[in-house]
Amino acid sequence: MPEATVATRASEATSGRTVQQVDVAVVGAGFAGLYLLHRLRKAGFATVVLDEANDVGGTWYWNRYPGARCDIQTVDYSYTFDPELESAWTWSEKYATQPEILRYLGFVADRYDLRRDIRFGTRVKEATWDEAAERWLLATDNGANVSCRFYIMATGCLSAPKPPEIAGVGDFRGEVYFTGRWPHQEVNLVGKRVAVIGTGSSGIQAIPLIAEQAAHLTVFQRTPNFALPAHNGPAPSDRVAMLEGNRAGYREQARWSLAGVPWPQQTAVSWQLSDAERRERFEKAWATGDLVCILTQLWADQGVDVDGNALVAQLIREKIRAIVTDPETAAALSPYDHPFGAKRPCLDTNYYATYNRPNVTLVNLRQEPIKAITAFGITTSKRSFDLDVIVFATGFDAMTGAIMAVHPITGRGGKPLSSVWAEGPQTYLGLTVAGFPNLFMITGPGSPSVLSNMIVSIEQHADWVVDRLTAMREAGFTTIEATERAQAGWAQHMADCSTLTLHRLANTWYTGANVPGKAQGVMPYTGGVGPYRAICNEVASRGLLGFKLTGPNVPEQCNDGEIVRLQPDVRLVLNMLADMKLPEIESLGAAGARAFVTMFNAGRPAGRPVGEVVDGTLPGTDGPLRYRLYRPATAGPHPIVVYFHGGGWVLGDEQSDEPFCRDMCRRSGMIFVSVGYRHAPEHRFPTAAEDGYAATRWVAEHAAELGGTPGPVLVAGWSAGANIAAVTCQLARDRGGPPIAGQLLLCPVTDATFDRRSYIDNATGYFLTRPLMYWFWDLYCSPADRTDPRVSPLRGKLEGLPPAFVVTCEFDPLRDEGVAYAEALRVAGVPVEQLKARGHIHTSFTMVDVVITGVAGRARMADALRRFAGLPQDMGKREGAGSDRNASPPEAIAAAE
C-alpha cells in the first residue's frame, strides 16, 4: 500500500485541545465509509473515519430489529470493486439478514485492515471551513478534533431516526423500541402486548416476526404500503448463473442500468399489451420476489404514467384481497393514495398473512387517529389499547437528516448549511454544495442514492471523489468548489427529471413529507443510475464543468456551466441515436431518406387508440391526395384540424406523424385530418403549399361529411408542415377562404435565412441539422423563389391572420425563425401565444410516448386548439386519458431565454 502523502499526525491547537491532522476525514463507517477509506488509503491520502457507532456497519449496525434484511438481492447488494473479495465471500440467502450483512462488513474491514483508521464512538458535532488554512475543522464529542483538507459525509440516507411526533410519547411506562435504534441485547416480546406504529419497510419486515412472539400485536397504520413477497431462500440460480457466467459484464451492466441492478429495459407500454399478457407478466414478477424486477419489468409506462401504473396497483390490491381473509382488514391494507413505486414499496415475508392470525389487530389511523400515548398504552379517537411494549417503526429524516445532524456545517463566509438548505437541499450532482469547498457527500440528495442499489451508487460516488482528489493533487489544486450556476442548473435538471416519474405524486420520505416542517421536493435524482454516471463522467471529461479549483502555485481553473440543459429523456434519445451511428439523412438521396424514415418510424410506439381512423383521398390541385382522419372516441360532430406532417417538404406522408395526430386528437377532442401533400424533388415549390391550401379548402367544404362541425376549420403542422399551415392561413385570407379559426405551428419553417443564432448554436447534434435543412431547401425551392411568402411566410403580410399558437424548441435550428414569426404576428395584431420549450429539440413533441417531457407541451397545444374552436378547456383534459394527469404544470416549460 503506498505511503500517505501527509502522515496522520496529532498537533496542539491554540485552544490546547489535540487536533488530528489528516488529508481526508470521512464521517460514517458503513458501506460508503469503508470503501472510501480503502480507496483513499490506496491513493495515498492520510484518512480518518469517524463514526458514532462502536463498530463498522452504518445502517446495518443500528437496524437490528427482528426481520431486518436487505431488499436488494445480496448478489447485487455487495461490493464489486475487488473480484477477489467477491469470490472470498458467499451469501447464504437471496436476501441476507442484518447479522449476516454486518458480518460481511466486518469481514471487509478486517480483510483490508480498515479498523485502525476508524475512530468509533466518536460523533462529529460541528464542521467549520477555515478559509485561511483551506481546511475543515471537525469538532468531535470524543477525543481529538480533526483538521482535514477534504471532508466527506458518508453518513447514509436513512440513518437519522425521525421523532414519532405523537403526544405523550414520554409518558408510556412500558418498553419502547425504535426499529432504527434497536438494542444490541436480545429483546424478549414473548407473552407481551405489543404495538407497532408504522408500516414502512421496517415495520413490514418486523411485524410478522413480532406477531409470532407477542401475546397480542396491534399494528397502528397511517398509510398502507405496497408490499411484495420476498420468496427468500437460496440465491436464485438464474441470477447466480448470470453473475458467474460473466461477473465483470454483469457488474458493468448494473453500473449502467437505471436502478443499479441488471434487468433489461422494457419497451412495451401497458396499452400495447392485452389484459392476459399484463397479468402473465405480473404473476411472473410477483413470483420472482424482487422489487427492481416488479418496478421495471412489467411495462415501460408503469413508472411514468398514472394509467400504466394504476394497472399494477390494481393487480397488487387483488393479491392483498386474496391473502387477507377479513375484507375490512384487506381494504385497510390496500393502498389507494399513491402510485405504486412513488412511495418506496416493501419486500415482505408473510406480511399480509400475518393479519389472519387471531393475535393480530390492525388499527386504521385514517379512521381513528392516535390521540395520545398514555402511561399504559395508546388511545385513539375511538378506543384505548393497553400495552407492554411500543415499537416505533416511524422512519427517518431521510437524505438530509444525517448530514444536518452535524450542526452547524459552516462554509465559506461563515454560512451554515442549514440556511443554504432552508428551502430544501441544493447540491451539484448530489455530491457537493456551492459555498462549501472540499466538502463531499456520498449518495447525497440530488444523486440516485435511495432510488438505486445503494452499493452501486456508493462505489460510483466514492470512485468519482477519490479520482478527483487524486487528479487535483497531481495538478497542484488544493480546493474544489461547485459554482452557483452549475448547482442551479442541476436543480433545474433535477426538477425536469422529477416530472418524468411519479415520485412527485406521493407524500413520502423521498419528498420530505414524512417530517413535519421539512421543505418538500423530490430529493433523490430520478433520472437513473446509468444516465447519472454518464453525467458525472462528462463533468470530469469536460474539465470539471461547474467546478472552481484553486491551488497555491497554479492559476485558478473554473470551467463554469450547466452539465445538462436538455430535457432528460431528450438527452437519452440523442445519446441512443448517437450510439446507433445513423447515416446523415441528406447523404441518402430522397428515395433512400424516405426508406430510412419509414424504417425509423416502424420502431416507434404506434400511438394510443382513438375513436376511429379513416383513410381517404381528396382532390388536390392536380389529382387526388391521400389523407388519414383521426376521430375522437366521443360523440361528434367535432371541430376539424387540418394537419400537415413534417419532413422538409421531401419526406413523410399522411401517416408519418401518426402518434402525434392520435395524441392530439385524444387531447383536443377534435378530428385531425392529416394530409398527404406532394413532395420535392418530384414536386417542387409551390406544390406543397398549393396542395395544403387546396386540401384545407376541401376539408372545410366537406366538414359535415367527415363528421366535423360545420364552420371554420383549424390548421396545424410540424416543421415544414407548420410552414404549410402558416402559408395556408395567408392564402385563405387572400383568396376568400376557407375561414380558419386558429393555427398551431410546431417548430415552423418561416424564413429562408440561415444566420439566426439558433441556426448557428444548434447546427448539429440535435437531430435536425443545418446541413439537412440546406438539403431540404435545395430540393424544394430555388434560391430565386425563397423570398416568396408561400415558402417564407415571415416575408408575407401578417395582418388579419387567425390566432396562432407557436411552439419553438430551445435546441432546434428553426427556433429563432419560429420566435420571429410569433413576434411578427403579434406586431401585426394577430393574437398569438408562444410556447418556448426549454431543453427540447425539433422532434421532442412528435416523439410521443418516447419523450415523456413533451406531454405538458402537447396538453397546452390541445388547450390552444380548443380555445380557438371555442370549446371548453377542461374537456380536453378529461378526454386526453391519463397522460394529462401526468403532465407537469405549464410553467415547467418555460421560456428558453
Q: 3-state DSSP call for residue 9?
A: strand
Using the rule CB under 6 A, which residue among 64, 69, 631, 836 binds ligand NAP? 69
Q: Which is nearer to ligand NAP, 223 or 601 (CB)?
A: 223
Q: Within 204-223, which residues bind ligand NAP (CB under 6 A)? A: 205, 222-223
Q: Are 622 and 685 in contact (CB under 8 A)?
A: no
Residues 430-459 that bind ligand NAP (CB under 6 A): 450
Q: CB neighbours (10 Å) of residue 186?
A: 6
Nearer to ligand NAP, 218 or 432 (CB): 218
Q: Which distant-in-sequence residues (6+ apart) come within 8 Å of 331 by Cβ?
A: none
Stretch that binds ligand NAP, among 193-201, 463-471, 715-723, 737-745 (CB under 6 A): 193-201
197 forms part of the interface with ligand NAP (CB under 6 A): yes
- Candidates 83-91, 159-167, 747-755, 848-856 — which segment interacts with ligand NAP by CB under 6 A? 159-167
Query: Which of these segments, 274-282, 388-396, 476-484, 495-503, binds ligand NAP (CB under 6 A)?
Result: 388-396
Task: For ligand NAP, give the closer residue by CB, 203 or 430.
Answer: 203
Angle between helices 454-475 and 247-255 (to 10 degrees): 80
What is the closest distance, in whole angstroms, from the C-beta atom of residue 495 to ligand NAP in the complex? Answer: 23
Binding track, positions 221-260, relative to ligand NAP; x by CB under 6 A: -xx-------------------------------------
Q: Which of 110, 165, 318, 734 binds ligand NAP (CB under 6 A)?
A: 165
- When asked if residue 395 is in the footprint of ligand NAP (CB under 6 A), the reply is yes
* Residue 198: CB minimum distance to ligand NAP, A: 3
Compute the distance between CA of residue 36 and CA of residue 754 in angstroms, rounded to an integer: 52
CB of 316 to ligand NAP, least distance (A): 17
Residues 355-384 that bind ligand NAP (CB under 6 A): 365
CA distance linking residue 537 with residue 862, whole number of Å: 39
CB nearer to ligand NAP: give 58 or 652.
58
> Judged by CB under 6 A, how many residues of this single chain contact ligand NAP?
27
Give the CA distances from residue 683 to residues 650, 678, 680, 778, in Å, rounded to whole numbers and listed in that order: 9, 6, 5, 12
At CA 318, angle to CA 314 and CA 319, rounded to 5?
A: 120
Among 20, 74, 155, 199, binds ligand NAP (CB under 6 A): 199
Q: Tell me which stretch binds ligand NAP (CB under 6 A): 199-207, 287-295, 460-468, 813-821.
A: 199-207
Cell 411526533 belongs to which residue? 165
Q: Is 202 in the site for ligand NAP (CB under 6 A)?
A: yes
SS3 285: helix
Please report how close the Cβ of residue 499 comes to ligand NAP at its closest, in angstroms: 23
The three-state secondary structure class of 636 is coil
Closest CA to 682 of 590, 575, 775: 590
Q: In this complex, which beta carbon is closest to ligand NAP, that of residue 112 or of residue 392?
A: 392
Separation between Cα atoms, residue 394 and residue 179, nearest integer Å: 8
Between residues 390 and 847, which has the closer beta carbon with respect to ligand NAP? 390
Residue 198 is a binding residue for ligand NAP (CB under 6 A)? yes
Cell of 435: 459555498
Residue 31 or 649: the one with the smaller Cβ distance to ligand NAP is 31
71 scored as a contact of ligand NAP (CB under 6 A): yes
* Residue 509 lies near ligand NAP (rule: CB under 6 A): yes
Residue 270: strand, helix, or coil: helix
For residue 224, give the nearest of 423, 362, 388, 86 by alpha carbon. 362
- Measure the CA dihedral 41/43/49/54, to 10°: -40
- The phi, psi pair for 522, rounded to 5°, reads -65, 115
Q: Determine if 203 is a binding residue for ligand NAP (CB under 6 A).
A: yes
- Binding piece for ligand NAP, criterion CB under 6 A, among 157-165, 571-579, 790-798, 860-868: 157-165
Q: Based on CB atoms, which residue is closest to ligand NAP, 198 or 854? A: 198
Cα distances (angstroms) measured from residue 358 to each of 67, 92, 205, 218, 329: 21, 33, 19, 11, 13
Q: How far is the CB of 171 from ligand NAP (least distance, A)?
A: 15
Q: With respect to ligand NAP, which residue has the nearer C-beta, 166 or 572?
A: 166
CB of 187 to ligand NAP, least distance (A): 17
CA 808, chain centre distance (Å): 24
Q: Binding residue for ligand NAP (CB under 6 A) from 192, 344, 468, 842? A: 344
Q: Which three cell numbers stand for residue 401?
A: 437528516
Phi, then psi, of 174 in degrees rounded to 5:
-85, -165
Which cell is 757 given? Answer: 443564432
Query: At what angle are helices 720-734 and 687-701 packed, to 10 degrees?
Result: 60
Contact pick of 25, 37, 43, 70 for ligand NAP (by CB under 6 A): 70
Measured between alpha carbons, how far is 829 from 847 in angstroms, rounded to an integer?
33
Residue 699 grid coordinates: 376539408
Site string for ligand NAP, 510-539 (x = CB under 6 A): ----x-------------------------
- Assign residue 728 a region: left if phi > 0, alpha if psi is -120 to 50, beta otherwise? alpha
Cα–Cα distance between 882 and 891 in angstroms, integer?
Answer: 20
- By CB under 6 A, which span of 195-203, 250-258, 291-299, 430-438 interacts with ligand NAP? 195-203
Q: Which is nearer to ligand NAP, 346 or 847 (CB)?
A: 346
Stretch that binds ligand NAP, among 141-149, 194-202, 402-410, 522-530 (CB under 6 A): 194-202
Mutual angle of helices 454-475 and 529-541, in 10-degree steps:
0
Which residues contact residue 473 at a Cβ distance below 8 angstroms, ignoring those fewer than 6 apart?
Answer: 5
Q: Which residues does residue 809 pair with via DSSP β-bridges, in sequence order?
A: 837
What residue number has its CB nearest to ligand NAP? 200
> Does 201 engage in binding with ligand NAP (CB under 6 A)?
yes
Q: What minimum distance in Å lies between the beta carbon of 387 and ligand NAP?
A: 15
Q: Which among 191-199, 302-310, 602-610, 867-875 is the span making contact with ligand NAP, rule CB under 6 A?
A: 191-199
As measured in angstroms, the least distance from the Cβ of 889 to ligand NAP is 25
Distances from the Cα of 108 to the Cα of 37, 449, 537, angstroms: 11, 22, 28
- For ligand NAP, the closer CB: 364 or 427: 364
Q: Measure the CA–CA gap between 574 and 586, rounded to whole angstroms.
A: 18
User: In 526-569, at which residue ranges do the beta strands (DSSP E only) sit?
Assistant: 547-551, 554-558
Give Dmax over CA atoms of the chain in angstroms. 97
Query: Minimum CB separation from ligand NAP for residue 757, in Å?
Result: 46
As measured in angstroms, the least distance from the Cβ of 286 to ligand NAP is 18
Sequence-distant (6+) residues with CB within 8 A of 196 are: 203, 206, 207, 210, 217, 218, 219, 220, 391, 393
Does 333 bind ligand NAP (CB under 6 A)? Our answer is no
Among 2-10, 163-171, 635-643, 856-864, the segment contacting ligand NAP (CB under 6 A): 163-171
**Least distance from ligand NAP to the Cβ atom of residue 180, Å:** 6
Cβ-based nearer residue to ligand NAP, 201 or 426: 201
Is the separation of the CB atoms in 880 and 858 below 8 Å?
no
Rounded CA-CA distance 87/91 in Å is: 10
Q: What count of other Cβ atoms lies within 10 Å of the Cβ of residue 635?
A: 7
Only segment of 255-263, 393-401, 624-632, 823-831 that touches ligand NAP (CB under 6 A): 393-401
Q: How far is the CB of 30 from ligand NAP (least distance, A)?
A: 13
CB 326 within 8 A of CB 352: no
Minimum distance of ligand NAP from residue 446's CB (angstroms): 17
Residues found near ligand NAP in the complex (CB under 6 A) = 69-71, 158, 164-166, 179, 197-203, 205, 222-223, 344, 365, 393-396, 450, 509, 514
